[in-house]
Chains A and B, each alone.
Chain A
Amino acid sequence: MNPRTPLLFAVMGLLLVYVGWSQSPSVALGLLTMCLLSAIMALGVNIQWGYAGLFSTGTMGFVALGGLAAVLTSMPHEAENWAAGGPRALFALLVGAGIIVAAVLLWKRLPPGTMRTAAVGGVLAVGFWVYRWLYDPATIAIEGTNTAASGYLGGLGLPILFSWITGALLAAAVAWVIGKISLGLRSDYLAIATLGIAEVIIAVLKNEDWLSRGVRNVNGLPREPVPYEVDLQASPEFIAWAEWLGMDTVEASSLFVKLCFVAIFVVVLGVLMWMSERAWTSPWGRMMRAIRDNETAARAMGKDVKARHLQVFILGSAILGMAGAMLVTLDGLMTPGGYQPLRFTFLIWVMVIVGGSGNNWGSVLGGFLIWFLWVQVEPMGLWVMDLVTGTLAEDSPLRAHLIEAAAHMRLITMGIILLLVLRFAPRGLIPEK
């Protein structure tokens, strides 16, 4: 391993310790959990980029799918809503999928010509009408039941850790469809297609209230095995333990919960890193990199490049889906409106590029560092603004505007960092070995 790597991680660790000292341990731990999560997302993106040179801008969509999976897996079952239209709605979805499959098969089997276009068009038109006839009454009924409290189908009521797996699976399934369509074309096209699918996924989450409550959000997601702070504060053993440590109970409970999450996330990250590193050095990994570096030669040697790319694309997206489920577990709520393209997709790309594209450790470092900067630039920006506007009058509108706008400094900073790294240190902090 590059001797720089442990050094850089040590620096990162020091930064977090500094935050813990200057602000509070709780803030530092909160930062650490998000850093870990960002590292996992960066890892997912790096698998697509570093192993296969795929540029996907749909990260946000796959993360959101993970959140959806968390809701669908672990929220309690809403029996009334289910009775109102659950089976019919799911049946409608199956029919819809079947129509599309039928149309695709017809397109492939029939010879080109007006017959084919007419047949496929007819199937789609009739199919769409049937689908809507099944779908609309069902969803309206579901949403109409218990609208304030739920108005949606709920989930399977399984432990939320299961959803981390289902999140990965759901993301993998969608990635398979997108990959099949846009891989094998020019690299830019994958970027545009994934940009589109992410927007569509978010649109579905925001509008299909019967599935995920839309913009009314889902909260109160369970989080076993991590305890809730209020439960800890009520437990006599914990109170005693906090006293023994000399800490305030509330603060101790918050720290304890965060430490639990940190522990679980570290385990997940560790497992993923171990698997990724094994894959990187395996014959499969070498073959992937050979394809990435010289696609034409690989194709000439008989490698099925498109299939390999699809594999990698699915793997990376699955990791992103898992991370999405983890994020929702951490927050305890799923807000479709919170999935912003800049925050998710492009920030994670900055993490991968800055950390060291093509290098798993680099992505982890990038995840830590960039998330850290993203959060810390805001108070730093405010501090700078305060300094700059110190000369202005207390109630000057310019001052108010500048202070308010300090938050947007983050975007500018991230952009400049990305440009500088791409230009002067394109291999990132920890280059590919």
Chain B
Amino acid sequence: MDILNAFVLLLNFVVVPAVSYGSQLALGALGITLIYGILRFSHFAHGDIMAFSTMSVILATWAMQGAGLSLGPLPTALLAIPLGIAVTAALLLGADRSVYRFYRKVKAKPIIVVMASLGVMFVVNGLVRFIIGPDDQDFADGARFLFTVREFRDFTGLDEGLGLRTTQVITVVVTVLVVWALFWFLNRTRTGKSMRAFSDNEDLALLSGINPERVVTVTWIIVAALITICGVLYGLDKSFKPFTYFQLLLPMFAAAILGGMGSPVGAVAGAYVIAFSEVAVTYAYRKVLEYLLPADWAPEGLVQLLGTDYKFAVSFVLLVIVLLIRPTGIFKGQTL
């Protein structure tokens, strides 16, 4: 009986949140790894662009909510995602035309392009704060829970309960769909294969008649979709605050590097490793141990490996370990 209780606790506080967070990170890391593999630079503006697209979705959602539109038990924000993707794609393509394309033409050193993405980050960061302000914004609506902790407890008769938020379920479902669609696109369509070829061997791809600007445009559009969906899911699940999205840069990059920069499979795998580590290391296991251990062995303290404020430190430590042991990552991405 106690084992079940401990198990349910772990499910509720570790497994489910980690799967949800990992899915969100996976979408973000996929964008980063695609940009690195095809456009060959580290996109430091990723977090703030994500804030921008989520902001557009939030504004559209408020408008919709004001107009009385709703999606029933699902968050209204989902309706606004296509608009968000369009806006983000426009922003990214605009940034590409006005900033990054020049450096591609002159074959500038990669680090210069990273600096340019810093400039873009500044501008977008300022824009987001200018338009919506730096504070927390709430835009979730619809049913909050699929089933609550209490409902679970009543149903099973256990002491501990598992609650599933709708946002968590939506996150996983949407992530699975998006990842499946992306991999289908990359592996089964001519355009997708041409993008992989371009990432693999740019000169040979050009020789084969693959149009580089078309590859770049398609990449940015796909990244726009990934960024918007990731940002909205994260914002619905947790909350929207511009600074939080900047902070997500570290775990997203850590996930992409851990999995192997440039490898989409790696990005997804890395994201779940990072998410599970972050959640597992910062969870207080006291109650779980109380259930599992005999009474006189019960722990005194919280039994928390690291405080929750050190969440990002976990990503950092994992990043350091990867850089020390195997810089190419799990799935042997590109290092140079």
Q: Taking the nearest CB of chain A, how far is it from the CB of B11, in angstroms?
A: 24
A-B contact count (CB 8 A): 135
Q: Taking the nearest CB of chain A, how far is it from the CB of B242, in angstroms?
A: 10
The reply on B312 being an interface residue by CB < 8 A is: yes
> A199 to B315, alpha carbons, bound, how many Å?
11
CB < 8 Å neighbour of B126 from A185, A207, A409, A426: A409
Residues in B neighbouring A128, C-beta threshold 8 A? 305
- Residues 29-48 of A, flagged 1 when their CB comes within 8 A of B and 0 if not, give 00000000000000000000
Q: Taking the nearest CB of chain B, how far is it from the CB of A1, in angstroms?
A: 26
Residues in A neighbouring B257, C-beta threshold 8 A? 189, 192
CB < 8 Å neighbour of B120 from A186, A353, A415: A415
- Residues 123-167 of B, flagged 1 when their CB comes within 8 A of A and 0 if not, give 111110111011000000000000000000000000000000000
Q: Taking the nearest CB of chain A, how far is it from the CB of B109, in angstroms?
A: 8
CB < 8 Å neighbour of B122 from A185, A196, A412: A412
The reply on A136 being an interface residue by CB < 8 A is: yes
The reply on B276 being an interface residue by CB < 8 A is: no
Residues in B neighbouring A349, C-beta threshold 8 A? 115, 118
- Residues 299-336 of B, flagged 1 when their CB comes within 8 A of A and 0 if not, give 00100010101101101100110011001000000011
CB < 8 Å neighbour of A185 from B129, B250, B315, B327: B327
Residues in A neighbouring B102, C-beta threshold 8 A? 423
Most chain B beta carbons < 10 A, residue from A196, A409, A416: A196
- A200 and B130 form a contact (CB under 8 A): no
> A349 to B250, alpha carbons, bound, how many Å?
19
- Residues 251-274 of B, flagged 1 when their CB comes within 8 A of A and 0 if not, give 001100100000000000000000
Residues in B neighbouring A193, C-beta threshold 8 A? 316, 319-320, 323
Residues in A neighbouring B307, C-beta threshold 8 A? 207
Q: Taking the nearest CB of chain B, how far is it from the CB of A333, in angstroms?
A: 21
Nearest to A418 among chain B residues (CB) is B119
Known contacts A199-B250, A207-B310: does B125 contact A422 (CB below 8 Å)? no
Most chain A beta carbons < 10 A, residue from B126, B247, B257, B305: B126
CB < 8 Å neighbour of B112 from A341, A342, A350, A426: A426
Q: Taking the nearest CB of chain B, how far is it from the CB of A324, in angstroms?
A: 20
- B122 and A346 form a contact (CB under 8 A): yes
| B contact face: mostly helix, strand, loop, or mixed | helix
- Residues 52-71 of A, flagged 1 when their CB comes within 8 A of B and 0 if not, give 01010100000000000000
Nearest to A195 among chain B residues (CB) is B250
Q: Tell me the chain A residues, 135-188 only, with Cβ under 8 Å from chain B.
A: 136, 181-182, 185-188
Q: Taking the nearest CB of chain B, how far is it from the CB of A145, in angstroms?
A: 19
- A196 and B319 form a contact (CB under 8 A): yes
| A contact face: mostly helix, strand, loop, or mixed | helix
- B118 and A200 form a contact (CB under 8 A): no
Contact size class for A? 35 or more
Contact size class for B? 35 or more
Residues in A neighbouring B116, C-beta threshold 8 A? 419, 422-423
Residues in A neighbouring B335, C-beta threshold 8 A? 185-186
The reply on B111 being an interface residue by CB < 8 A is: yes
- A200 and B120 form a contact (CB under 8 A): no
- Residues 85-118 of B, flagged 1 when their CB comes within 8 A of A and 0 if not, give 0000000000000010010000000111011101
The reply on A105 being an interface residue by CB < 8 A is: no
Nearest to B314 among chain A residues (CB) is A200
New contact pairs (20) apart from A196-B316, A346-B122, A414-B126, CB-CB < 8 Å: A128-B305, A185-B323, A186-B336, A187-B110, A188-B111, A188-B114, A192-B250, A200-B316, A206-B309, A207-B310, A405-B130, A405-B131, A408-B130, A408-B134, A411-B125, A415-B122, A415-B125, A418-B115, A419-B116, A423-B102
A-B CB contact pairs (8 Å), 20 listed: A181-B324, A182-B320, A187-B111, A188-B114, A189-B257, A192-B254, A193-B316, A197-B316, A200-B316, A207-B307, A404-B133, A408-B126, A410-B126, A412-B123, A418-B122, A419-B99, A419-B119, A422-B112, A423-B99, A426-B112
Partner-A contacts on B (CB < 8 A): 41-42, 44, 99, 102, 110-112, 114-116, 118-127, 129-131, 133-134, 246-247, 249-250, 253-254, 257, 301, 305, 307, 309-310, 312-313, 315-316, 319-320, 323-324, 327, 335-336
Partner-B contacts on A (CB < 8 A): 53, 55, 57, 128, 136, 181-182, 185-189, 191-193, 195-197, 199-200, 203, 206-207, 341-342, 346, 349-350, 353, 404-405, 408-416, 418-419, 422-423, 426
